[in-house]
Amino acid sequence: MCQPDRVEWANGSEAEYDRLTQLMVDTGMATKLNEKKRSHSYLFRSDPSDVARVENRTYIASTTQEQAGPTNNWIDPVELKKTMTKLYTGCMRGRTMYVIPFSMGPIGSPISKIGIEITDSPYVTANMHIMTRVGDDVLEVLGENGEFIPCLHSVGAPLAEGQQDVPWPCAPIEEKYIAHFPEENLIWSYGSGYGGNALLGKKCLALRIASNMARREGWMAEHMLILRLINPEGKRFHIAAAFPSACGKTNLAMLVPTIPGWKCECIGDDIAWMKIGADGRLYAINPEAGFFGVAPGTSMKSNPMAMRSLEKNSIFTNCALTDDQDIWWEGMDEPCDHAIDWKGHEWTAESGKAAAHPNARFTAPAAQCPVICEDWEDPAGVPIDIFVFGGRRTRTVPLVTQAFDFDHGVFMGAMAASETTAAALDVGQTLRRDPFAMLPFCGYNMADYWAHWFAMGDKLKDKAPAVFYVNWFRTSGEGRWLWPGFGENSRVLKWMCQRIEGNVGAQQTPIGNMPLEADFDLSGLDLPPEDFAELMEVDNEAFRRDVEDAEAYLAKFGDRVPPQLTTQLEALKARLG
């Protein structure tokens, strides 16, 4: 169908990676960075039309529209395949087809899954080397007739004989399709070479297809970081946390605690796959092998461990290039006066324009993170003690609340919301609901997804993780941040650990259990008592307005809303009075 000029099987070797990156330097697609500053690292600039996930061109092609639900773009699978087959026919002429066998999760883990991505992009192949486990070992585990998820990708830019290629080939926006066929565990992507549109192991497989597989097979595929927190006595706690974008997820995954004696280790920064173990507890793996993070705003202040992870063997996309052949972006620690911007144009600090694209990315091996957990590749996974949900709210929602029980925690996750910013597509709404931070990533009807969470709680019974909700972003009446955030968030995690140990009490409020000031570690923190009081304030009237918004949101899902969710909503209304 694709008619490439040649076919190469990716074996995941360093020699292969070096050959691909050199090929891209030679063709002008990549710029090699200063070896002394950032060894074995490369910068790419995408086409300005191909800079992020394209949600309006992302489809769930389930048999019926009802299965996809009101929050997904649905297309009839038969019609979509017809359209895409036409586009795919001859789409790789003049190019090499790379066949990439990859494992999501440690190779051979009972929680892992295998995919095969076919692509005509050497950039995608190099990124998959970092983001997944690629190569012959995967084929050995797969064997002659093992199960795998087929992932077909093309940049959608065939070359006629003698035609000069461009540095970043892609198709126009109206020809871009990122399609998921959940009943077949099948992914077809066409027209984009960027990020989650093209690295099909990431959101496409790890969340949209895996969420369907997880529901059918009785496990969980979640948009969650995983971290290990160790208290001064050496006791380990494992936390999985889900936040919408711009809520500091990667920063929390690589947290450096500010409280003496506490230590944090990163297991994953984005995705958690979880299965119930023989002991009845929930065990999680990070199915990825690398970090694909947003670069702007990442600094030694906001996330020193991420910065140190990027010192070598990394790929940068749509960042600025400094005069000494290193990368730069807005929010980095050192200012920059002059650079080549993400579009390849000369840039100065006085220009008033951004040098890096707001969605500029880094791809780095997780093994390079200084605080990566020694068990991050344990095939058995780690036992989850705590789930954390959150959103970005300047008012109403307190710093931390504990759910009364697991069902109440599912309700918290289902109602997760952030205030919209000017950058969001839905300006005009004050709140954007993003249940479990899965709104763009759940591969089926969100109401059925909530029902699956309740069903998992029923299976886990008293071994279910404790559930908490956080809001790092509350402000005072004058708009001043009330909580310092970053490493100080370890104080909130400490309280959670003490709660599940039974070492501290809590005060019951209509929205959940909250810290008693005497139990919350504020030592060494210059936080005025009135700020702490405001951080923990529960305004019943404000929450009643929140409930009205939640009811309007749930109405979209009709009679598919699980009864447990309605029960929780009614109970909250009764408590608020």
Q: Which of 495, 490, 491, 488 lies closest to 512 in space, CA to CA?
A: 495
What is the β-pairing status of strands 327-328 and 320-322? antiparallel
Q: Decide if 247 is catalytic.
A: yes
Residues 6+ away with beta carbon under 8 Å from 455: none
The CA angle 320-367-264, to the nearest 5 degrees, is 100
- Tokens, residue 364: 């780095």
Q: How deeply is 397 buried, as exposed, middle or buried, from its count of CB atoms within 10 A (0-12, 13-18, 19+)?
A: buried
- What residues pair up with 346 in beta bridges, in sequence order? 340
> What DSSP designation does 477 have?
T
335 token code pair: 């200012």
Catalytic annotation, pick one of 247, 266, 336, 369: 247
Report which residue type is found at 490.
S
Q: Which of 387, 540, 361, 437 is nearest to 207 (CA)?
A: 437
205 and 187 Cβ atoms separated by less than 8 Å? yes
- Alpha carbons 557 and 561: distance in angstroms, whole number: 6
Helix (H) or strand (E) holding 217, with range, is helix 210-217
* Nearest CA among 278, 266, 265, 256 for reference residue 234: 265
SS3 call for 492: helix
Closest CA to 437 of 405, 469, 464: 469
Judge whether 50 and 170 are in contact, CB under 8 Å.
yes
Does residue 69 contact residue 366 with C-beta atoms inside 8 Å? no
Neighbours of 545 (CB within 10 A): 13
| Whether 358 contacts 421, CB under 8 Å | no
The DSSP 8-state label assigned to residue 472 in this structure reads T
Q: Nearest CA to 247 among 72, 436, 374? A: 436
Answer yes or no: are the C-beta atoms of 502 and 272 closer than 8 Å. no
Structure tokens given for 315: 């790929």
What amino acid is encoded at 44 in this protein? F
272 vs 383: CA distance, rounded Å:
12
- Cβ(309)–Cβ(298) under 8 Å? no
272-276 sheet: strands from edge to edge: 220-222, 272-276, 282-285, 382-383
Q: How many helices (H) and strands (E) does the chain have?
A: 15, 31
* Residues designated as active site: 247
